[in-house]
Structures are given as structure tokens and as C-alpha cells.
A = this chain, B = another copy of it.
Amino acid sequence: MKDKYNEFHEWYDEILEKADIIDKRYPVKGCLIWKPYGYKALKLTMNILKRLLEETGHEEVYFPTLIPEEIFALEKDFLEGFSGETFVIEGTLSKRLDRKLLLRPTSETVMYYMFKLWLKSYRDLPIKLYQHVNVFRYETKHTRAILRVREIASFIEAHTVHATKEDAEKQIREAIEIYKKFFDSLYIPYIILRTPKWDTFAGAEYNYDFFTVMPDGRAIELGSVINLGQKFAKAFDIKVQMADESFQYVWQTCYGVSERVIGVLLSIHGDNRGLIFPTNIAPIQIVIVPVIFKGKEEEILSKCRSIYEKLKSEGFRVHIDLTDRSVGDKYYYWEMKGVPLRIDIGPKEVKQEAVTVARRDTGEKILVKDEELVSKLKELMEDINRNLYERAKKWLNSNIHTLIDISDKSKIPEKGIVKVPWCGRDECGLELERRLGKEALGFNPEEKAHGKCPICGEKAETWLYLSKKY
């Protein structure tokens, strides 16, 4: 196994395939096979977000994948933003179609076309919908397993419509809270930044992105919350009659998260022995390994089975390894696959009416009495998750550097995120990107900077965050 921090990409590619998360030998670049173990983790992950959306009144829908070109083209910035990435269908294997159909890179245009038909009165608002779908983007940058793909297999996009600007802004705050809870439950620490104007989502007024730092020191976007203002409402002519009988354009927001989050969390929590899953999304939470001694086979296996049945009936995702591999191989294998807890049962454990529990995150082993096992496992699970989060948080914090003076090139950190005092003007932001050789991630409008903008020398309004980026 490669070193996670020094050879991150090699480590990442190796572990994803070895641990049966994905197979990237599929012969279309940027398209992956999700294997059962990886897909299970992905589903557990996305289900957390779906539950959070349902709890806040979002309803699930399904809109078509195929978009007529003329509808896609209605919002000009959107068309321009996505044109290079959007696949076009012109026919079948045996026939030309009479018009071009596009594969959705995201669903604003198909949804908003219908919203125009659905909405009559402010009483029909708000609309809060989401869908869990595949979307397609012809990425021209280097593709990377899970993190940057051409078919996004698992995209959860929410779209909302409101009668007033204030309601839309309130919705942005709700969406940010939902995503906070989501990433918190994956034990991924993050910072939330407003995208600078020159990088705003196509067709949007502004957007907030969640970022974290990968083991190679590059920032990665986890999810995006977008205030569309009235731009799409105007492009798609979506108006409602208000209480005062006037007709007004509606206000819209959208927000999305993809399977990328699971690529990120595997990267962040893993170590040089392989993956480490937080317990809530681990496809297998506990693996039982029989430690067989000659003459004791029957009592050991029988205890393994009874512990297995007990844990299963308690709702744990538990697996018992009855293959004929050696005990050492089994340890190595399940550690690599990231199973958070292992239970060893040998003659000692049988005799003492106990089991040995090994933590994947720390390697610690403890003997636990059978009757205390369930409560101890629950306690250990919480502790593992807390530990994963604290390690990750420490990593993120150690990778955010404040940089007041940019004149000394040698003091500009190569890795991680730098925050630089900024006057707030586009031209200075773009110049900061150029001089630091990093991309602007955004700024926090509520975080006031001290000092001066290093480009123009004016008083700094805020901090601009910059980093090499995925």
C-alpha cells in the first residue's frame, strides 16, 4: 500500500480498487463501475441526505434525462457555462432524429420549463423538490475516480421556488444547514465560502460552496448552494399572481451534491493500511474472525455464530469471515476494506465468556464480556466516529494558512488553503489568483479581515481564500 500523504493519488487509486469500491477498467473515460461493497456505502451516504431533505419538506420527483436543445438554450449564461460539457444525441444506431436532444448535466432547464406550466399563484409556493439521478458532464480536465467523472451516477439536486427574495434567501440558509448536518454526519470538516463573482454558477446570482482539504493539500468542493435570483424565472417566464393581484417573477434556489462526497470521505478517513469507514455508512460495521485452535473448532465457531446472530438481531451490519484464509490475512483484508470494528473469538474468549474487540482507527484491542458487548460496541462506534472527525478537523485546520504578505514567494505555502486580505474587487481577486498560482475558492461575507489588500493597498474588506483545487 502506498503512503496516503506522500503518494495520495497512487494510494487512492489502489485502495478504491482493492477494497471493491469501484472498478475503473471500464473502457469509457470518466465512467466507473460501482461494485456491491462500494455501492452499499454510497447508498447509505446518499440516504442520509435524502432523509434530511424529506425532513425539511422537500419532495422527491423525477424529471427526464433528455433535454431538447431549444429549452436548454433559454438561459444564456447557463448555456454558455455548460455547452462544452453537455453531450448531444442526434440519432439512434439506424436513424437521425429530427432535433438534437441533450443529456442533462443538471436539471434547471427541464424543471423550470415545467414550473412555468405548474405555477399560477403565490399560494402554489414554495415549491421544494429534489431528485436523485445520474447526470453527464464531458469533463475536459483530467478525470479522477469518483471525484471528477463524466457520468455522475448519484447526484442529488434540490430545486426550490419562492414568492419573494427574502424567502429564497431563507431557503439558502436552510440548505446550508442541511448540508452542514450532512457533512457532519460523514465526519467531514468543511469551510463554507461564497464564490467570487467571476466563478459563480452559470445562471446564478451567487452561490456558497462547501470545501475541505484532501490529503494532497488541494481543496475540493463538496457541495454547492445556489441563489438563482430571478434569472431563470425571467428566461423561462415563470410568474405568479401575488396577493395584490400583480404578476411577479418568482425567486429560485438550487443545491446539489454528488457521489464525490464518498470519494472525499474515503480519502480523508483512510490511512496507510486502507480505508476506514465511519460506522453509519460502513457497508459492514463489524467483522467476526474465528481464531481457530486445533480441537477447539466447534466451540469457537459456535460462539462466532451465536455472537453473529445476536449482533444481527440488534441491527448491526455484521459479517462473519468463514473463509479458509489465515487469521493474519483476514485481519489485513478487513482492515484494508475499512470495517470499523473487528471481533476476534478464540479459545481464550470462549473460556472467559468474552470477545476481543479491535478498533480499526486506533488498532486498540480490548476484551469485552459477552453480556456487555452490545452497549460497548455502540460506545466504541461513537468513539471511532468522534476520533475520525477530530483527526480530519485537525488536518483541515493545519491546512488553512493566513497570508498577509504575498511579496515573499518562499513564504507562500504550496499546499492547503491560504486566506489573504482582500478589498473585494474582482480585478484584485483575479490578480491574487495569478500571483499565488492558486484558484480563488471564495470568501465569507461575515468574516472581516484586518490589514490591506496586497494588490491595490486599499483597506481589506474580507479574506479571499485560495488554493490549488480539484
Chain B positions within 8 Å of A114 at CB level: 23, 25-26, 33
Query: Considering the complex, which residues of chain A in the window 295-345 have a beta carbon less than 8 Å from any beta carbon of chain B?
Result: none
Q: Given contacts A88-B92, A89-B88, are A66 and B31 in contact (CB under 8 A)?
A: yes
Determine whether the beta carbon of A28 is less than 8 Å from that of B151: no
The CA-CA distance from A40 to B27 in the complex, in Å, is: 35
Give the interface segment out of A95-103, A196-204, A284-292, A430-438. Answer: A95-103
A84 touches B92 (CB 8 A): yes
Query: Which residues, 80 to 116 on A, are CB-close (under 8 Å) to B?
Result: 82-95, 101-103, 110, 113-114
Determine the residue in chain B with the shortest Cβ distance to A22: B62
Contact A91 B88 (CB under 8 A): yes
Quick one: closest B residue to A87, CB to CB? Answer: B89
Instruction: Determine how many copies of this chain the complex contains.
Output: 2
Given A28-B64, A28-B66, A32-B64, is A93 in contact with B86 using a C-beta cutoff of 8 Å?
Answer: yes
Interface pair B89/A93, CB less than 8 Å apart: no
Chain B residue numbers with a CB within 8 Å of A67 are 28
Partner of A33 from the list B40, B63, B68 (CB cut-off 8 Å) is B63
How distant is the Cα of A103 from the Cα of B87 in the complex, in angstroms?
11
**CB atoms of B92 and A83 under 8 A apart:** yes
Which residue of B has the minimal Cβ distance to A92?
B138
Who on chain B is nearest to A27 by CB? Answer: B68
Asked whether any CB of chain B lies closer than 8 Å to the CB of A153, the reply is yes
A192 at the interface (CB under 8 A from B): no
For the complex formed, measure the closest distance between the CB of A23 and the CB atoms of chain B, giving whole angstroms: 6
Interfacial chain B residues near A84, Cβ < 8 Å: 92-95
CB-CB under 8 A from A43, the residues of chain B are: 60
Judge whether A62 and B39 touch: CB under 8 Å.
Answer: yes
Q: Which residues of B contact A118 (CB under 8 A)?
A: 23
B71 close to A27 (CB less than 8 A): yes
Chain B residues with CB under 8 Å of A42's CB are 62
Whether the pair B90, A134 counts as a contact (CB closer than 8 A) is no
**A146: shortest Cβ distance to chain B, in Å?**
12
A80: min CB distance to chain B, Å: 10
Give A64-81 as 1s and 0s: 1 = Cβ < 8 Å from B's Cβ atoms. 111111010000000000
A133 contacts which chain B residues (CB < 8 A)?
A: 134
Q: A34 in the interface, Cβ–Cβ < 8 Å?
A: yes
In the complex, the chain B residue whose C-beta lies closest to that of A102 is B93
User: Is A243 an interface residue when CB atoms closer than 8 A count as contact?
Assistant: no
CB distance from A130 to the nearest CB of B (A): 10
CA distance in complex: A35, B103 (Å): 21
Contact A64 B31 (CB under 8 A): yes
A61 contacts which chain B residues (CB < 8 A)? 33-36, 39
Interface assignment of A353: CB less than 8 Å from any CB of chain B: no
> Told that A23-B114, A27-B113, A85-B92 touch, could you supply 7 new A-B pairs with CB distance under 8 A?
A23-B118, A28-B64, A31-B64, A36-B61, A65-B136, A69-B93, A103-B103
| Residues on A facing B (Cβ under 8 Å) | 23, 25-28, 31-36, 39-40, 42-43, 59-69, 71, 82-95, 101-103, 110, 113-114, 117-118, 129, 133-134, 136, 138, 150-151, 153-154
Q: List 8 A-B contacts (CB under 8 A).
A: A33-B63, A62-B154, A64-B151, A83-B93, A84-B95, A85-B92, A88-B93, A93-B102
